[in-house]
Amino acid sequence: MRKYWPAFVVASALIVAPSRSFAQQQAGAAKAAASAEAAVGTAVAERTLTGAAESFTADVGTLYCFSKVSDAADSDVEHVWYHNDQEVGRVKLHIGGSPWRTHSSKKLGENPAGSWRCDVVQDGNVIKSVAFKVE
């Protein structure tokens, strides 16, 4: 029995070592950064943005920011709306998978003319910004 003991120890170490190394790599693996595609338009119908543009007339009333977010499953993002660089709206949205489509809307109110943007934000970081004008 003693003859085989060293061989058993070496063989066991070879079997256990690769799995331990793999587990350490998994634990230390960096999570992919979230990314997004986004656009602003006049409506959302059947999970698709319609009326996308970079400029809108002042009588449009309500606009929609539609975003497709990747690498952010089971987390939250925010659509932060700005008019002339002043924050005018913030909407928290849950991301259930990857990629995940979501949207928010903004009623423009009185005197909407000017520069606008909608930022897609995760954990305080802007992952996409869409600029547009209302004339």
pLDDT, one tens digit per residue, over 81-133 is 999 999 999 999 999 999 999 999 999 999 999 999 999 999 999 999 999 99
Report which of 79, 1, 69 is spatially closest to residue 36, judged by C-alpha positions. Answer: 69
Residue-wise pLDDT for 59-82, tens only, equals: 999 999 999 999 999 999 999 999
Q: In the chain, what is the straight-line distance between the N-terminal and C-terminal CA atoms, in Å?
A: 89
Domain spanning 35-134, CATH architecture:
Sandwich (2.60)
Confidence (pLDDT) at 133: 98
E-strand ranges in 10-124 read 35-41, 43-45, 48-50, 55-56, 62-70, 75-83, 86-95, 100-107, 114-122
Q: 42 exposed, middle or buried (CB, 10 Å; 0-12, 13-18, 19+)?
A: middle
